[in-house]
A and B are shown apart, each in its own frame.
Chain A
Amino acid sequence: MRYAMAVDTLKCVGCTDCVVACQTENDVPMGHCRDWIVEKTTGTYPQLQLEIRSERCNHCANAPCVRTCPTEASHYAAGGIVLVEESECIGCKACITSCPYDARFIHPEGYVDKCTFCVQRVEKGQKPACVSVCPTHAMIFGDLDDPNSSISKAMATRKWKSLIPEAGTDPKVFYLI
């Protein structure tokens, strides 16, 4: 089992529904977010391109945060989901510094917080909250080890990229382009 997410940049309109759904689902404190929108414009008027991405923790298979965590609070859970055990986290921020994706923040209660792929939902067979609300169905979540999963099929048939591949983190969030 290898959980992964693909964000279809051709469908994403950057509406931020994923952001607010995550915030309400997971009670993320105001002023913080576990997922966010990046809009990148290239070209000059009138020859322009715009890429819109919903970004979050990449749940890397070779995760710098897990390697740098001195207390093993950051760890791999079932299916490769990268999680932080709140009670073990000492708030040292080593993981925040090491993450090339800027995906982590200090929760007001003192521990490090980030996207969990909504593990509490995934364990029950549901999709992460962001995926379940997306009005344009721009996000796909599933198991890369299952060749029949919709994410495996999308990865096999669509052009895709991941972010900062040169960091060697083996990310599990992909962008269909």
Chain B
Amino acid sequence: MSNTMNRRDFIKIASIGAGGVAFATPLFDFSKGEILAPDVIPGMYAKRTPTYCEICFWKCAGWVHTNDKGNIWKVTGHEDDPHSNGRLCPRGTGGVGMYNDEDRLKTPLIRTGERGNQTFREASWDEAFTYIADGLKKIAAEHGPECVALFSHGSGGHYFGDLIKAYGSSNIAAPSYAQCRGPREVGFIATYGEGVESPERVDIRDTRCLVLIGSHFGENMHNGPVQEIAQATEKGATIITVDPRFSTVASKSKFWLPIKPATDMALLLAWIHVLIYEDLYDKEYIEKYAFGFEELKAHVAQMTPEWAYGITTIKPEVIRQTAREMANASPRVIVHPGRHVTWYGDDTQRLRTVAMLNALLGSWGRRGGYYYPEQVDFKSYPHPPFPTPKRTWKDAYPGKFKLAGLALASGICDATVPTTERDCSFKGWIVNGTNLIHTLPNQANTLKAIQALELMVVIDTMPMEITGYADVILPECTYLERYDDIRVSKHREPTIALRMPAAKPKWNTKPAWWMAKGIADKMDLGHYFPWKNIEEKLEWELKQVGTSLEEMQRIGVKKYKRQFDDLYPMQNLEDFEFNTNTGKIELFSTAMEDEGYDPLPNYTAHEEPPDGYYRLIYGRAPMHTFSRTANNPNLTDLMDENSVWVNPKIAKEWGLKNDQYLWLENQDGIVSKTPIKVRVTERIRFDSVYMVHGFGHTNNKLSRAYGKGASDADLITRVHVDPVMGGTGMRGNFVTFRFKAGEEVSS
């Protein structure tokens, strides 16, 4: 079977009008340092200004090149930046499309009709700020400021975070925690006393063996690891990929383990069994650093590869062979913790098992394993201390999610739905740069919560599904048109990076710092924003780290020398005290035991799809970030809709053909709002289907993305909540094929 995407498929998208601007042929380029931003040379490609990318959370530093008409021409990577190493990914390269998108939010809007009906009137900034300030004051007076929460993704969130802290609430939630990497952080903190953090502290470039569990780098275009995987494989590193789908990186791997979905825990435990019972683990390392080895050994005694075979469908000899491959590379081996790990509700335990595997292989704190990152000691512009809130979101969940380190976006959403069990629910949401309709599982519940709100403010650059429900929409200018906080990077070496405007904000759009400060002024909270403008704030902060705004405008990225730990503090079995109860790497977790959770991880069997249903697996495409880039003209030109991957055996049973459109229906009878194209491919197991997340937009103000592809988020109704930290497992839905639309659903 051959499956080829050809040039014709690629360019068949009709020409969609002039999204860009016309450029003359460049007369010459500026090599580094030749021309100092923000100087302008008339008649030439005038300047380059530093930025760091906002298309995803990797925040690669780069240069924005503008012509003499002030039009942005292109964005390229910054040579000194450890996140990009001078090379952006397609989203960063296509970042200019975010600026040029003619569908952007253009002026503040105030709702005039029912919530969700998309009826708004244009408003002045002053009017919008007054509306918000009045709404917030009313909630504070009637319910207390703790009944307001901020949902945030992206740079501007910091300013709105300060605003609500000044107002009296500490409920600041990012879906990147409970809907993404939270279980990983908790699992690693329980084991090593610290998390994996972002960018992940994995030393891929020097590894000899990389184990990926569902991580699909290359499609998941995290710039640093994708670059380093290429470097490592060039030096002969082995990749072992565990995935029900033959992902791009699976195709680059020595071993592809097409595991039965939802059984990863059994494979991980069997690998631990092999390492211990074949005597392959790093004995000196475990003896020196680990607590609870004997308990672990006894715990996994029966968890043999033969046991795991019946669960995972991975043959015992493959489990043994791959475990030996890891041990041969030890300590230069990484069992990668992944990033979006909220799958089945036992995710903290699964990620703890990953952490333990790395410990047995002696890779934590060692070259080619996990390094110790460092960041510069960066002081924010001083402001008066924030008031202490009387309550937090945790009060809505007594005795639950005891190891949650950050606020749960899903938890706040659930606690917004009025119930007799609580005396106060959330009454106000500020939503910055996150399309909660596509981000949170269980849309019906999210909409119920939204309809119960007294005030909802959305800050975004684009009209999204979430903006349709706002009372007030504040249009943010794009990252190419604004200053933001300094990017203080925690990496192998500390760096800071500046984002500055490369062009004036289009239309009546403004940066988040200006909005938050303006609203604070309206509420007599202006003293928490004691700087005149952001340049003054940045100038003060940069001075504290020995530089200036002028220097940063010129160099973009500044590197600092490491001050503290070695990069690999356990390289030669040096003494080290871990930040755990025992001061050791806890194979047996005392913290989990203290809170009443399993101190050693167990395999739990998860529900399996009934006949005619297939597990819904979702992932990433390299040219898109979540649902936020689906209308970017440059990136839509690369991929404008998703498809559902179906194994040929299943396609034959159902009579499905490539490129045929159909609807997906889940086990709760929920039908995708939009149809999706079939991709028949050998690259997926017969018990699962796969789709890229982020498509199926229902806001018709998105002229390119509207109605293109389908949304997996529509179909995620069975949420498996992690009891340890409240992560929302989102791989528990099964879908079947349906050949006509569901009932009309209002968007």
Contact = CB atoms under 8 A, between A and B. Distances in A.
Contact of A17 (B93, B234, B256): B93
A29 interface: yes
Contacts of A124: 28-29
Given A27-B20, A30-B20, A41-B683, A10 B233 contact: yes
Contacts of B684: 45
Contacts of A41: 1-4, 246, 681-683
Given A20-B634, A50-B248, A105-B11, A15 B73 contact: no
A25 B23 CA distance: 9
Interface in A87-139: 102, 105, 108, 120-121, 124, 126, 132-138
B420 interface: no
A102 B94 contact: no
Interface string A3-20: 000000011011111011
A133 B75 CA distance: 10
Contact of B14 (A19, A31, A36): A31
B251 A49 contact: yes
B574 to A, nearest CB: 35
A42 B251 CA distance: 11
A23 interface: yes
Contacts of A55: 7
B5 A38 contact: yes
B16 A46 contact: no
Nearest to B23: A27
Nearest to A29: B15
B156 interface: no
B683 A50 contact: yes
B74 A135 contact: no
Residue picked from B89, B647, B682, most chain A C-beta under 10 Å: B682
B90 A16 contact: yes
B647 A15 contact: no
B635 interface: yes
B230 A11 contact: yes
A24 interface: yes
B218 interface: yes
B191 interface: no
B94 A24 contact: yes
B74 A14 contact: no
B433 to A, nearest CB: 22
A136 B638 CA distance: 19
B74 A25 contact: yes
Contacts of A75: none
Interface stretch (B220-228, B277-285, B449-457, B510-518): B220-228
A44 interface: yes
Interface in A129-151: 132-138
B685 A138 contact: no
Contacts of A48: 246, 251, 256, 682-683
A155 interface: no
B87 interface: yes
Given A20-B638, A49-B251, A135 B227 contact: yes
Nearest to A51: B251
B379 to A, nearest CB: 34
Contact of A136 (B8, B90, B230): B230
Contacts of A49: 251
Contacts of A16: 90, 622-623, 638-639
Given A11-B230, A17-B88, A21-B93, A30 B19 contact: yes
Helix, strand, loop or mixed for chain B's interface? loop
Interface in B659-713: 681-686
A131 to B, nearest CB: 10
A41 B3 CA distance: 5
B741 interface: no
Interface in B207-250: 217-219, 221, 223, 226-227, 229-230, 233-234, 246, 248-249
Contacts of B256: 46, 48
A42 B2 contact: yes
A39 interface: yes
B90 A121 contact: no
Interface residues of A, number: 49
B226 A33 contact: no
Interface in A34-63: 36-46, 48-50, 52, 55
B22 interface: yes
B635 to A, nearest CB: 7
A15 B20 contact: no
Interface string B80-111: 00000001111001101000000000000000
Nearest to B60: A135
A38 B233 CA distance: 22
B494 interface: no
B507 interface: no
Residue picked from A11, A27, A45, A48, most chain B C-beta under 10 Å: A45
Contacts of A30: 15-20, 633-634, 637
A46 to B, nearest CB: 5
B26 A20 contact: no
Contacts of B683: 41, 45, 48, 50
B25 interface: yes
B15 A31 contact: yes
Contacts of B686: 45
B29 A126 contact: yes
A38 B6 contact: yes
Contact of A133 (B29, B76, B226, B635): B76
A126 B31 CA distance: 10
B93 A24 contact: yes
B218 A133 contact: no
B11 A33 contact: yes
A144 B560 CA distance: 41
A156 to B, nearest CB: 17
A24 B23 CA distance: 10
Contact of A14 (B22, B75, B218, B223): B218
B153 interface: no
B90 A13 contact: no
Nearest to B9: A36
A13 B74 contact: no
B28 A24 contact: no
A120 B25 contact: yes
Contacts of A36: 7, 10-11
A11 B633 CA distance: 27
Contacts of A134: 87
A102 B6 CA distance: 10
B475 interface: no
B558 interface: no
Contacts of B18: 29-30
Contact of B89 (A102, A126, A135): A135
A46 B94 CA distance: 35
Interface of A: 10-11, 13-17, 19-21, 23-25, 27, 29-33, 36-46, 48-50, 52, 55, 102, 105, 108, 120-121, 124, 126, 132-138
10 contacts: A15-B89, A19-B10, A20-B635, A21-B74, A24-B94, A30-B19, A48-B246, A48-B251, A102-B8, A126-B29
Q: Which 4 A-B residue pairings sit nearest by Cβ, starting from the closest? A: A13-B218, A50-B251, A136-B230, A15-B622
Given A15-B218, A17-B88, A20-B634, 11 more contacts: A19-B90, A29-B18, A30-B15, A31-B13, A32-B11, A44-B682, A50-B246, A120-B25, A135-B88, A135-B226, A138-B230
